[in-house]
Structure 1
Amino acid sequence: MEQGHEAVAAFLDRETRQVWARHRITGEPVFVAPGAAAEVRKTARAEWTCLVPGCEEVISTRGGSKRDHFFHVTAVEHSGGPEGTNHLASKAMLAQWAAREANGGADVVEEQSIKNVELELNRRPDVLVTWSTGQRLALEVEYKHFPAELWAAKQTDLDRNGVTVTWLVGRTRVQLDPKLASAVRLPALGRTLAAADRHVLVINPVTRQIGTLAGDSRFTTRLRNWDSIAWLRIDDLDSCVLDPDQGLVTPTMRRIDAAIKGASRAAAEEVAAERAIEEALEKEEQRQHAAWHASQARRLVHRVWGSSPRLLRDPSDLDWAIEAISVHWHTALYQALIHNRLGRDFALDDCWAVLRTASITWTRDDDYALKALTSYLSAFVDAGLATPVGPARWRACGKINRWQQVPGRTAQA
């Protein structure tokens, strides 16, 4: 089912209420689902705490007309603002999800700190998944402005250490495009990732969803770094897959990649088909040249003129309808119907018979073949070698002068 403007707007909503907490003893992330505030209130007060490291204040839950959420019983101010809260919530959500996806096959470590890239570059991954094979995967969330040079430095560091990484842009960095449904303005980090030929993912820890940006509204292409807008499609986190080689993979990513692979396959098939046609044409051209070199018509040319007269070798726009090189079928007609046949008549049927005798075929479209033939007979008429004597009938009235047709020779008396 396609997603419209309202769904995208809901995903990008800048909800600031805290919906994630952490178990005081185990450190396990806890999510309060819509409508669950009353049910978990007692447990929240007794066993859970907010996500900010070092905060030991008691929390509780609220619901009703507002989105169910956690709050501090005693007013507390934490550094980092909404971006810091969203970042902590996103890391907690991804760590919990990754642990469930790995299902005991990997060690999942969440970096529990507030990141501020404006002050320092934290090279420790937000969430690090280490598989039993030793293969490592990082999940990185960026809510604040992350300059391209800092991204490149961190990416290089992860590459150097053999760590696969999935980058996720915080939803507050993405703005709706007011004119196009499901379209958004491409954030700066999105351009950086697109330039690196990476999927651009957007994270929302409040709705537990991941958005995937595409370069078209049908979600068949990745973004390009020069795109100013993108199209956003939303998937529930639980429908995503944790892949050791690719990282976090959304259903929309699979859709885009399948479309790209299909387009590449179609393009390859088109290239192969074009190459097959070219090879067939080359093979046919070789066959036609071989037929010409073995023909009686060519022997006539060399015996009488030494080289092909221009009247015989020049092609016309319709010559392709006769399946032989132009000089071959031109010469075959001249030799059989005009050369040394002064005063003799011939008809179209005689022309076709000449071509058959010379093993020359023509296109299945008889109209084009007929136009090619009559066009060339007109050339004989224009050169004074034949004259029309009736409907589809001609009379030979001359022949090509030997000395005037051989380059570099002059006419002799």
Structure 2
Amino acid sequence: MSTTGRGSTFTINCSGFDHYGVDPSILNPVFERKAFRPVTDISVPTRVNISFTMSAILDVDEQLQLLSSFLWLEMVWDNPFISWNPAECKGIVKFSIAARNLWLPDIFIVESIDVDKTPKDLILYVSNEGRIKFNKPMKVSSVCNLDIFYFPFDQQNCTLTFRSFLYTVEYMVFGMEKEVWEITDVSREIVQAYGEWELLSMKKATPKMSVGTNLYDQIAFYVTIRRRPSLYIINLLVPSSFLVAIDALSFYLPAESENRAPFKITLLLGYNVFLLVMNDLLPTNGTPLISVYFAVCLSLMVISLLETVFITYLLHLATTQPPPMPRWLQALLLHYIRPRRCCPTVPQRENKDMGPAPTHLPDLKEPAELVGTVSGPREVGSNGCPESTGSQREREAQKQYLVELWVQFTLMMDTLLFRLYLLLLISSVITVIVLWNT
């Protein structure tokens, strides 16, 4: 075995090799030069081939804009001072050496904000041609521009840039030990085995970094990761959708029922409790689309409650003190219910204030049920005149007809507002789904 340096040659007997190991003393001349870059010509840059495996995505902190990952960094370079003939040295083609005994390239990740906590007592492999392979485990906390608007269906693009801290392009250049697709496939298989995130793709670029008059070589890897949304779909979207669906179905409770408003209030309180309990699952930085979705659902439930209050007020007004109905509203109402009405009730005299004769309206309770039992006209008036009895009957019939019109108007308003509510709900859901799919 021989080690050569510029201006000096060291000849070492292969008797230091045997099947039980290598005599450390035969490499002392190389160990003594570990402080210097291993080249025979100082004008020739050292080429360091880089590869890594992303074995885990530990955390994505949206508030601090950090990506925490675990990498196995592999660096390969040549040391021209080390070489031997395996045929003369017991057939040994490579052996391991403590990394502290040889020169190591000072490669770091530009985006990393944490101190390198790599263990110091690492091992590297040396081949008979002087090729050195060094595997280095790294826990990296790197700055990443995170966009959480599409949470939990978001994809993040982060960059890992490898560069030398001291050596410019005159002294160190970078290459690839493996192709990017190989790095991606191996990393994807490992990362997909567990965790919240999955690795989608990697791309490579080799931009030069200029710092003042110095130019540094570097390799940038653009990593695309995607969140697994199943946890958030089950715990956030499904319960929220169920509550909103139940709120929409509550419109089928009778409008005159006293249970609709309390039921909607209970749903609204339950939805607020749900948001408070699940708040820890939402990102704390920015405004994701899912928060907008929850706000829209909460607003729809409030609108639904206000609609119920309005309909209840109209029914109460119609069945207690119904005001005179404008002629245009009465004509519009009769126009829409005319195709469904049956034969007219007992004919009445034409009245300018009341308009057409009262009709029997379908799907409407009898006025006696809404207003209460109306006292029947007495056989004889207080003055004993039959005309007085007829006038009393006519007034009661007119009031009953007015109640029917107002109740029918209230029910039509309830149906109209329910359809508007459904239209607003469906359009909101479709909008959110389209935005998530983009």
The verdict on a shared fold, with TM-score over 0.5 as the criterion, is no
TM-score, length of structure 2 as denominator length: 0.26
TM-score, length of structure 1 as denominator length: 0.27
Max radius of gyration: which structure?
2
- Structure with the greater relative contact order (CA < 8 A, sep ≥ 6): 1 or 2? 2
